[in-house]
């Protein structure tokens, strides 16, 4: 598995996905912090109990709802693009490599990339807060929880997007699919009445992890018993197993 991960690294290290990982989180984070500092604080004289938390709330309008799911779709499409372009699927699958391991290594590589994205987002937000001279203490624990739960919420989505990208040879098609299905997240997560729909919609799980759980500031027990975690695990198993099944079935038919 480690060798397969190294191969994935070799395939992607000279692509432009690293710029995406760096810049796509930076944009909503800078925007969220700017909105908080320039509009909420300087213009409307809003008094917050914790600057960082409120600024992170502003960032959450765009980052976990649109940019993060779209980024995961772009990464999944890129990871499969290399194989589609060179018609590598058939070649690799004739080598003595376990198909299951090959597919899972791609999934694992994507989870690592999205984990890295979250770490970068966290650092970018911390730097943006430091540059903006936030007075209150940085809420390390809540921020780390939010980042981890957002990443955890993205796992079923990655599994689903990997299945789609591996299935469709057309790179644009799989990206379009991911982009368009990210659009309703905005409405689902923003609505109090339709929030429950988010549990049935994998694109909204990262946002649910990053925002709602953070707002309630729960204990570990609350987090573990939260339907979010159970639903997430359910979706992850379903997406991963289905994806793997269809991957093996499709590639065997070729």
Closest distance of CB 58 from other proteins, Å = 12
Closest distance of CB 195 from other proteins, Å = 15
Closest distance of CB 43 from other proteins, Å = 15
Element (H, E) at 112: helix 99-131
Helices (H) and strands (E) in the chain, counts: 13, 0
Closest distance of CB 100 from other proteins, Å = 28
Closest distance of CB 22 from other proteins, Å = 11
The CA dihedral of 71, 51, 187, 148, to the nearest 10 degrees, is 50
Closest distance of CB 241 from other proteins, Å = 27
Distance (Å, rounded) from C-alpha 124 to C-alpha 130? 10
Between vectors from CA 194 to CA 27 and to CA 182, what angle results, nearest 5°?
35
Element (H, E) at 147: helix 140-167
Which SS3 state, helix, strand or coil, does residue 46 take? coil
If the CB atoms of residues 106 and 231 are measured against other proteins, the closer one turns out to be 106
Between vectors from CA 173 to CA 82 and to CA 65, what angle results, nearest 5°?
100
If the CB atoms of residues 9 and 18 are measured against other proteins, the closer one turns out to be 18
Rg of the chain over all Cα atoms, to the nearest angstrom: 19
| Residue 132 Cα distances to 62, 97, 129, 140, angstroms | 20, 51, 5, 17
Distance (Å, rounded) from C-alpha 177 to C-alpha 70? 10
If the CB atoms of residues 35 and 108 are measured against other proteins, the closer one turns out to be 35
If the CB atoms of residues 88 and 136 are measured against other proteins, the closer one turns out to be 88
Site residues (CB under 8 A) for other proteins? Answer: 16-17, 20, 23-24, 27-28, 31, 62, 66-67, 70, 74, 77-78, 81, 170-173, 175-176, 179-180, 183-184, 187
If the CB atoms of residues 69 and 231 are measured against other proteins, the closer one turns out to be 69
If the CB atoms of residues 77 and 128 are measured against other proteins, the closer one turns out to be 77
Closest distance of CB 53 from other proteins, Å = 21
Q: 138 with 215: CB under 8 angstroms?
A: no
Among residues 56, 59, 247, 80, the alpha carbon closest in space to that of 143 is found at 56
If the CB atoms of residues 175 and 244 are measured against other proteins, the closer one turns out to be 175
């Amino acid at each position: 598995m480690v060798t397969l991960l190294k191969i994935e690294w070799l395939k992607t290290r000279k692509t432009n996905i690293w710029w995406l990982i760096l810049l796509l989180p930076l944009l909503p984070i800078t925007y969220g912090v700017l909105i908080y500092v320039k509009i909420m604080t300087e213009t409307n004289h809003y008094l917050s109990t914790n600057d960082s938390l409120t600024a992170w709330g502003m960032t959450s309008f765009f980052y976990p709802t649109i940019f993060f799911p779209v980024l995961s779709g772009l990464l999944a499409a890129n990871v499969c693009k290399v194989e589609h372009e060179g018609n590598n699927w058939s070649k690799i699958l004739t080598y003595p490599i376990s198909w299951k391991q090959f597919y899972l290594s791609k999934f694992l590589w994507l989870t690592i990339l999205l984990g890295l994205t979250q770490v970068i987002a966290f650092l970018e937000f911390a730097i943006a807060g430091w540059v903006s001279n936030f007075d209150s203490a940085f809420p390390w624990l809540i921020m780390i929880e939010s980042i981890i739960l957002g990443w955890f919420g993205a796992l079923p989505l990655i599994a689903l997007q990997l299945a789609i990208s591996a299935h469709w040879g057309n790179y644009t098609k799989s990206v379009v699919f991911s982009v368009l299905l990210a659009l309703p997240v905005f409405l689902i997560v923003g609505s109090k009445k339709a929030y429950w729909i988010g549990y049935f919609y994998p694109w909204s799980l990262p946002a649910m992890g990053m925002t709602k759980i953070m707002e309630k500031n729960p204990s570990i027990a609350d987090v573990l018993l939260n339907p979010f975690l159970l639903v997430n695990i359910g979706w992850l198993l379903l997406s991963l197993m289905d994806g793997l099944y269809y991957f093996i079935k499709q590639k065997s038919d070729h």
